[in-house]
Structure 1
Amino acid sequence: MHTKQTGTLRHTVMLAALLAAGAATARPQLLPPQSGDLASTAVVAPSAMQKSAGAPNTRPEPVSLNWATQAPSAAPVPFVGQSREYYQEVSADDLAAGVDIHTSAPRALVRIQPIAAPGTAEKQAVAPLSLTVRDAGGRSFAAGSGMDLLVSAEQMSKAGSAFGPGTSAFRLDPKLGSGAFKLSSGANRGSGRYLINVVEPDSKVAFTLQTGAPNYLHGQQLVVLPDLVEQVAGNGERRHAIGKLEGYVTSPGGRMFPLAFHTRTDGRPGATLVLDANEAPSPGLWEVHATSSATVAGQTVMRSLRYAFGVAMPVARLNGAVSMLNVQDAVGVRLGVDVGAPGRYEVRAQLYGMRGGVMQPVAMAHAAQWMNAGTGSITLEYDAAVMAGARGPFELRDLTLLDQGRMGLLQRQQRGVTIDERDVLRSGRRSVAPAPSKMKQAADARVKP
């Protein structure tokens, strides 16, 4: 008799402990950021942004929507920019004396654009027929010889091209091959400036560049990773040393920050820059401008590249507070937000759940609203209809916080929130509840001695 009572008491204590543990772990939690995530530890309200703190041209009405999806979320990866072209700025006198251009493949396209205001630029246009091309062997080609395509500034304008006014172009005759050429025009002299663009679509050598992350926040360290690669047989690549490398970063507001490239521990070049985004919001992205020069197979290879990336002021952040709301015919996940500057903020997240014993995408939800400085919240709603058939545990993945008015990405986590099925049940969506008999069987199984 005593033994039976002791056993019953033991089962009761174990059940109580399990239920208590379940209650403790059932609360939804904002997961810590992992490698590759974008997150800040505090919000700011910088002085430069106070003038536009109201974030004009945004609507104050809250918006919430969700839909079923089976497409999995993917971790953001930086884009790899490639260039097979370069730019150089010269004067009219330089062009009259002769300007060196370098090619690593035949059929290079050359564009010449006057650096002048519209109206003046057209008058300073360089006619391709006025150009003389000399190759490394001393042969001279004039009046269109040595070219297999000539486009005057007038023809370029009539074609509605996106190039600046006064731009003309020509393509080197493939019979000239590749290497060094000297380009001159006696028709243009003086202090006028020109931008020469040499494009090599057939070259196997490309200058590549990427950043350490696709998006950054004010105060974080930008990482710039350039490379020079050559396509080889079998879809392979051969890396080449870069002899000269220069660059700078520009902000949307027009500020310029020089880059100092160095050799990294892996032997490849790189540069870093602590980002200062404290400026009045302006349209556009931040950009890396880089130029390189190298010798490949005895030929000079020159490349220029512009690479865009996003930088935002951390004017808001998810503060870690997560709770479930009772929403009619839906599950509501309320996320706490710390706000440093008034504006319209948006949260997005993809809901994952168990289907067929496998964690997979269930639904996507977006919610946006106006928020004043301080602490507030945004609620994501997932309709019961889009969650039909899904079981817990659930996760919010690709959790994203956006500043709509200032067009900034403020936070992005590959794994955002874990949600126990019991929290979903408590929030009002009974359709995910397992059958009572199954719940009892599970409880009995847990307390077996």
Structure 2
Amino acid sequence: MPGAAGLLAPPAPLLAQSREFWQTVDAAQLRAGVDIGLSSPGALIRLSPARGAAALTSRELKLHANGKPVALQATASDVQLQAAGMDVAPGTAMARVAPGNGPGRYRLTAAAANGRYVMHVFEPDSNVVLRARADRNHAVAGNTVSVTVDLSHDGRAVPMKAEALLVAPDGSSQTATVVRGRDGSIRASARMPSSNGTTPGLWELQVFATGDGVQRDARTAFAVAQPTARFSGVQSVNAAALRIALPVQAGSPGRYEARGTLYATGPDHVLRPVAQGHSATWMQPGTHTLVLSFDRKHLPTGYGAPFEVRQLELHDQTRIAPLEVRARGLRF
């Protein structure tokens, strides 16, 4: 496309697709039997002991269907899993459901269990898939992040029940709101706390769904920054020089950067991206100005006004944090 060479669109939020779920279980549940719904052959079952829980081996895991034993195939020991680069706790047991055992209800037992465990069930060949996509890759403290969720079986939408948690980098969590739209779609959302703590890392909005007799969990991750600065309108626009002055209100000392993509109108009257600009400077608390300039030499033949600045962004370079993203900045 004329004028678009070398210009990269902002990455879309990651679409998480899940054929697995996690569940915390204790020794009493494992001795009595934990019910598991499977949708395909070849499921992998893993039990990871919490602190103080007894170690298990794959030989100590038993599976039944309709009261009859189902063969489990040993896969790898905890030592072998760790050697392969998996972050598993010592004493973790993992086994695969033997071929020939398809969809249905199963009961998992472990008579040697003592303590609490995290059970992970993964169905690599399942056609029951939970999808979740957040509405952004990053947020500012105080923003609300939403995740659109759907469960499908062979591409067909499946009615489901869902819950969600907002999980901070330090592992603390709070319940997120889950609502169902008139079209049947499900959306989970949570407001970011005003303080994102001192532990570095990404936040997660985790969704737990049940439908068609199976469980699925999906995790979406995003960065959260403190609102250390913000755009406060447009100071001036010089259309002839392709220069825009942007006032910035800084609340904390730091180096702040403005970025934007210039769209120009082509001979067919369609706006297309032709150039990118950025400007950065150190700021103390108060009002400052960042100037975005675009070189007219980057305009392809026949391109001109009206112009539009899109994907206008404000970044805190000191803290490596995006503060604002405006899909449509201004038109001139």
Name the TM-score, length of structure 1 as normaliser: 0.65
Asked if 1:340 corresponds to 2:251, the answer is yes
Give the alignment of 1:354-365 within 5 angstroms.
Answer: 354-356=265-267, 358-365=270-277
Which one has a larger percent strand, Structure 1 or Structure 2? 2
What's 2:279 paired with? 367
Tell me the secondary structure at the aligned position of residue 75 of structure 2: strand
* 2:45–2:95 Cα contact (<8 Å) kept: yes
Asked if 1:154 corresponds to 2:79, the answer is yes
Asked if 1:185 corresponds to 2:110, the answer is yes
CA–CA separation in structure 1 for the residues paired with 2:90 and 2:297: 57
CA–CA separation in structure 2 for the residues paired with 1:202 and 1:366: 46
Shift in Å at residue 401 of structure 1? 0.8
What's 1:12 paired with? none
Shift in Å at residue 69 of structure 1? 5.5
Shift in Å at residue 301 of structure 1? 0.7
Q: Over aligned residue pairs, what C-alpha RMSD do you find?
A: 3.0
* 1:347–1:401 Cα contact (<8 Å) kept: yes
Pick from 415, 418, 421 the counterpart of residue 331 of structure 2: 418
What's 1:196 paired with? 119
Shift in Å at residue 375 of structure 1? 0.3
CA–CA separation in structure 2 for the residues paired with 1:151 and 1:324: 64
Shift in Å at residue 213 of structure 1? 4.4
What's 1:444 paired with? none
The code of the aligned residue for 1:251 comes to A
Pick from 83, 92, 98 the counterpart of residue 167 of structure 1: 92
The code of the aligned residue for 2:319 comes to R
Tell me how many residue pairs correspond in the alignment: 327
Shift in Å at residue 77 of structure 1? 4.9
CA–CA separation in structure 1 for the residues paired with 2:25 and 2:285: 51
* 2:207–2:217 Cα contact (<8 Å) kept: yes
The code of the aligned residue for 1:398 comes to Q
CA–CA separation in structure 2 for the residues paired with 1:392 and 1:282: 47
For structure 2, list consecutive stretches of 5 or more residues without a partner in the other structure.
none
Pick from 169, 173, 184 the counterpart of residue 252 of structure 1: 169
1:180-229 Cα offsets, whole Å, 9 max, x none, are 2222233x243x21111000111111122234444444334333433221
Shift in Å at residue 374 of structure 1? 0.6
Asked if 1:320 corresponds to 2:237, the answer is no
Tell me the secondary structure at the aligned position of residue 174 of structure 1: coil
CA–CA separation in structure 2 for the residues paired with 1:277 and 1:200: 38
What's 2:292 paired with? 380
Asked if 1:125 corresponds to 2:55, the answer is yes
Percent identity, please: 34
Give the alignment of 1:273-352 within 5 angstroms.
Answer: 273-294=190-211, 296=212, 300-323=213-236, 332-352=243-263
Name the TM-score, length of structure 2 as normaliser: 0.85
For structure 1, list consecutive stretches of 5 or more residues without a partner in the other structure.
1-67, 232-236, 420-449
What's 1:91 paired with? 26
Give the alignment of 1:389-428 within 5 angstroms.
Answer: 389=301, 391-419=304-332
Max Rg structure: 1
Shift in Å at residue 76 of structure 1? 6.6
Tell me the secondary structure at the aligned position of residue 94 of structure 1: helix
* 1:132–1:183 Cα contact (<8 Å) kept: yes
Shift in Å at residue 107 of structure 1? 0.6
In structure 2, do the counterparts of structure 1 residues 305 and 281 end up closer, same or farther at CA, with 3 Å as the change threshold?
Answer: same
CA–CA separation in structure 1 for the residues paired with 2:195 and 2:82: 40
